[in-house]
Amino acid sequence: MTNAQKWISAFLGLFLILFIVSRVTKSDDIILEEYDYYSNESASETIDEGLTLINQFECIACHGADLKGTKLAPGLFSAKEYWSRSNLINYLRNPSSYEGDARFEGYKKAYKTIMPPYGNKDIKELGVIADYLLKLE
C-alpha cells in the first residue's frame, strides 16, 4: 500500500464509523420518543382520558362543556342513577333502542336534537367514557 492509499482507507474507515454512529444515535432517539409517548399515555388517569374523549367526540356540543345540560340535551350527572356500565355502553352505541322508556319520551319533548349513535367508535373508548360518566358527582 502506498501512503496515499493508506490515507484514503483511513478516511473511508473514519467516514464509515461516523456514519454508523450517526445511525445508531438516530434510532435511539426514535425509541426514546416512543417510550415517552407510551409512558405519558399510561400515566394519564382514566378520568382525564374520559373527559378528553368526551371533548373529542363533541358530546359537549349538546350536553354542555360542564356536562350539566343545555337547551339541546340533558345533563349527564344522573347517569349513574340510571345505567349499569354495560347498558350505558350499549346506549351510546345505539340510543334509539331505548326509545320506549318514559324518561326518553320526556326528553323527546324537551329537546329538539336526538342523541346520535356512536356504534362506529372503539368500544374500549366508549367504556372509558362510561366509566367517567358513572363517576360524575
Taking CB under 6 A as the rule, does residue 111 contact ligand HEC?
Answer: yes
User: Who contacts 123 (Cβ-Cβ below 8 Å, separation ≥6)?
Assistant: 89, 93
> Other CB atoms closer than 10 Å to residue 72's CB: what's the count?
13
- How far CA 104 is from CA of 7, 34, 67, 107, 113, in Å, comes to 85, 45, 18, 5, 12
Segments of 12-123 assigned E as strands: none
Distance in Å, CB of 114 to ligand HEC, minimum: 5
Q: Which is nearer to ligand HEC, 39 or 56 (CB)?
A: 56
> Using CB under 6 A as the criterion, what x/- string covers residues 1-30 for binding ligand HEC?
------------------------------
Q: Which residue of 51, 52, 90, 104 would you call a contact of ligand HEC, by CB under 6 A?
A: 104
Q: Which residue of 95, 117, 125, 136 would you call a contact of ligand HEC, by CB under 6 A?
A: 95
User: Who contacts 99 (Cβ-Cβ below 8 Å, separation ≥6)?
Assistant: 108
Residues making contact with ligand HEC (CB under 6 A)? 54, 57-59, 61-63, 72-74, 76, 79, 82, 92, 95, 104, 107-108, 111, 113-116, 118, 129, 133
